[in-house]
C-alpha cells in the first residue's frame, strides 16, 4: 500500500534536454560538473522522480495542476502527508520503532481481550482463582506473540519499502547536489557573462619556439604544451564550455625532422596515459580525429585507442584531439562517404546537401565551433576544420601556447559575448 501511494502520483511534466554529443545520452547529471545556470530547471519545476511526481520539489508548496482536476485541499493533504512520509523514510530509527510499536499494540490488545473474557467466565465458576492464573499466562503468551510480530515487521517492512525509500533519498540528494553545483558555478565562473561559446577550437601553436626560447630545447616546449592543454580543458569546463577541439598534429607535421617527429610520438604515448586518467576522473569524453591514421605508430595507436575506449561513457565534457589531421583530407573523406551513400542507393544526387556532408565529417557528433583560438601571433587557418569554421569567431593571441593563462580564455569569452555580433551573413 505504501509503495502504491508513493508511486501513484501526478504525471511527469516534460523537460527539454540538450545533448552535447549525439553519440551519447546526457545528464548530467550526474555530478553535472560546471554547467550554465540556465541548464538547471526552475526551483519549483516538477522533476521526474518519485517524490516530485507526487509532492513537488523540496522547499516548494504543492502546485495545483488544472489538467489533473485535483482540488487545492487534496493537494494540501498530499503535501502534509508527503512531509511526514519524508521524515519517516529518512529516519532509520522511525523505520525500526514503528513496526515495534505496532507489534506491542497488537500484543496488548489481544492479551487484554483474552483477560477480560476469562475474568467474566471466572465470576460464574467456583475455581475463579485458578482460571485467573491461567488467563495471566495466556496474556503473557499473547504479549510474546505481539513482540514476535513486532520483530517480524521490523524485518519485513523495511525490506518492502527499501527500494522506495532508497529512491526517495536519492532524489533528495540529487536535488541538493544540483543546488550546490549551481551555486558553485555562479561563484567560479570568472567571465561573468551568460553567452558562453558552446564549442571552442584551438590551434596550439608556438610549442617549439617556447621550448627553444626558455630551455634551448624544442621538445621540452611540447611537454609544457601538453600540460597547458589539460589546464585549458579545466578552464573551459569551469566556464561552461561543452566541447573543446584542439589541433595537436597535422598531416603536414610529418614533414618535420625525423628526430622531432619521433620525440613528438614519444610524448603522445606518455601523454595519452596521463590524459586518460585525468579524463576519466573529470568525466571528459575524448574523440581522436585523424585523416591519415596509417602513419601513426602502433604504440601511439594503442594509447589512443585505450584513451578513447575508457572515456566513451563520460558525458560531462567532450574533447576532440586532431592527430595526423588535415582539413582538406577530411573533406575528401566526407565526399567519399557521400558517394558511397549514392552508390548504395541511400540517397540520390539531387538530395545531397550540406547535411549529408556534415554527417560524414569527423566532427559529425558535435556542432561547429563558435570560437577558434590560435596562439603564437600567427594569423592563418593552417588546414584546420576548413568546413566547420565557416562562421566561427577568430581570436589570434600573441602568446605561445604554453604561456597561455586562464585570464586569456576569460578575455576571449567576454569579447565573444559582448564584442562580437554573429550575423551569419544577414
For helices 72-89 and 92-122, angle between their N-to-C axes, nearest 10 degrees: 100
- Reply yes or no on whether 359 is catalytic: no
Cβ-Cβ contacts under 8 Å for 329 (sequence gap 6 or more): 251, 291, 292
Write the DSSP string, 47-99: -SSHHHHHH-STTS-----GGGT--HHHHHHHHHHHHHHHHHHT-HHHHHHHH
Strand-pair partners of 325: 250
User: Would you call 424 exposed, middle or buried from its count of C-beta atoms within 10 A (0-12, 13-18, 19+)?
Assistant: exposed
Query: Is the distance from CB of 321 to CB of 287 less than 8 angstroms?
Result: yes
Nearest-10 crossing angle of helices 207-214, 218-239: 120
Dihedral sign, Cα of residue 238, residue 240, residue 243, residue 244? negative
- What is the C-alpha to C-alpha distance for residues 16 and 29, in angstroms, rounded to an integer? 14
To the query of whether residue 346 is one of the catalytic residues in this protein, the response is no
Residues 6 or more apart whose CB falls under 8 angstroms from that of 402 comprise 206, 207, 210, 211, 221, 224, 225, 227, 228
Separation of alpha carbons 227 and 39, rounded Å: 30
Compute the distance between CA of residue 319 and CA of residue 317 in angstroms, rounded to an integer.
7
Q: Where are the alpha helices (DSSP H) in 189-317?
A: 207-214, 218-239, 258-282, 298-310
Quick check: helix, strand or coil at residue 138?
helix
Q: Which one of the listed residues 52, 171, 205, 408 is annotated catalytic?
A: 205
Which residue has cell 600573441?
A: 398
- Of 65, 174, 253, 293, catalytic: 253
Q: Angle, to 10 degrees, between the axis of helix 92-122 and the axis of helix 128-188?
A: 170
- φ/ψ of 57, rounded to 5, equals -70, 160
Residue 122 CA to its chain's centroid (Å)? 73
Which residues are marked as active site?
Answer: 205, 253
Amino acid at each position: 500500500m505504501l509503495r502504491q501511494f508513493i508511486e501513484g502520483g501526478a504525471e511527469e511534466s516534460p523537460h527539454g534536454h540538450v545533448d552535447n554529443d549525439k553519440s551519447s545520452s546526457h545528464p548530467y547529471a550526474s555530478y553535472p560538473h560546471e554547467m550554465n545556470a540556465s541548464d538547471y530547471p526552475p526551483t519549483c519545476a516538477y522533476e521526474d522522480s518519485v517524490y516530485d511526481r507526487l509532492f513537488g520539489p523540496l522547499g516548494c508548496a504543492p502546485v495545483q495542476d488544472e489538467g489533473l482536476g485535483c482540488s487545492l485541499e487534496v493537494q494540501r493533504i498530499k503535501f502534509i502527508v508527503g512531509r511526514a512520509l519524508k521524515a519517516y523514510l529518512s529516519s532509520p530509527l522511525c523505520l525500526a520503532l514503528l513496526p515495534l510499536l505496532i507489534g506491542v499494540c497488537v500484543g496488548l490488545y489481544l492479551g487484554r481481550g483474552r483477560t477480560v473474557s476469562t475474568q467474566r467466565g471466572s465470576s460464574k465458576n467456583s475455581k475463579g482463582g485458578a482460571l485467573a492464573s491461567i488467563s495471566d499466562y495466556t496474556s503473557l503468551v499473547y504479549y510474546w506473540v505481539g513482540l514476535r510480530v513486532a520483530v517480524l515487521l521490523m524485518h519485513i517492512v523495511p525490506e518492502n519499502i527499501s527500494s522506495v525509500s532508497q529512491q526517495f533519498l536519492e532524489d533528495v540528494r540529487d536535488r541538493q547536489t544540483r543546488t550546490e553545483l549551481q551555486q558553485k558555478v555562479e561563484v567560479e565562473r570568472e567571465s561573468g557573462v551568460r553567452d558562453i561559446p558552446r564549442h571552442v577550437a584551438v590551434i596550439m601553436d608556438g610549442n617549439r619556439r617556447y621550448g627553444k626560447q626558455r630551455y634551448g630545447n624544442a621538445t621540452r616546449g611540447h611537454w609544457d604544451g601538453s600540460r597547458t592543454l589539460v589546464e585549458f580543458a579545466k578552464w573551459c569546463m569551469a566556464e561552461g564550455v561543452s566541447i573543446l577541439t584542439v589541433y595537436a598534429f597535422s598531416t603536414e607535421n610529418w614533414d618535420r625532422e625525423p628526430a622531432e617527429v619521433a620525440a613528438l610520438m614519444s610524448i603522445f604515448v606518455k601523454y595519452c596515459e596521463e590524459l586518460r586518467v585525468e579524463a576519466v576522473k573529470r568525466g571528459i569524453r575524448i574523440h581522436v580525429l585523424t585523416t591519415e591514421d596509417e602513419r601513426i605508430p602502433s604504440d601511439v595507436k594503442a594509447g589512443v585507442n585505450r584513451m578513447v575506449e575508457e572515456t566513451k561513457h563520460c558525458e560531462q565534457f567532450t574533447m576532440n584531439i586532431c592527430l595526423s589531421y588535415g582539413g582538406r583530407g577530411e573533406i575528401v573523406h566526407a565526399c567519399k562517404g557521400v558517394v558511397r551513400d549514392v552508390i548504395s542507393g541511400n540517397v540520390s544526387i539531387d538530395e545531397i546537401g550540406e547535411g549529408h556532408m556534415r554527417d560524414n565529417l569527423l566532427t559529425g557528433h558535435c556542432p561547429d565551433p563558435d570560437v577558434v583560438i590560435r596562439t603564437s601571433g600567427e594569423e592563418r587557418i593552417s588546414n584546420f576544420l576548413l568546413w566547420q569554421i565557416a562562421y566561427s569567431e577568430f581570436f589570434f593571441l600573441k602568446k605561445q601556447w604554453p604561456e597561455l593563462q586562464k585570464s586569456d580564455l576569460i578575455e576571449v569569452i567576454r569579447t565573444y559575448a559582448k564584442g562580437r555580433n554573429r550575423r551569419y551573413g544577414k
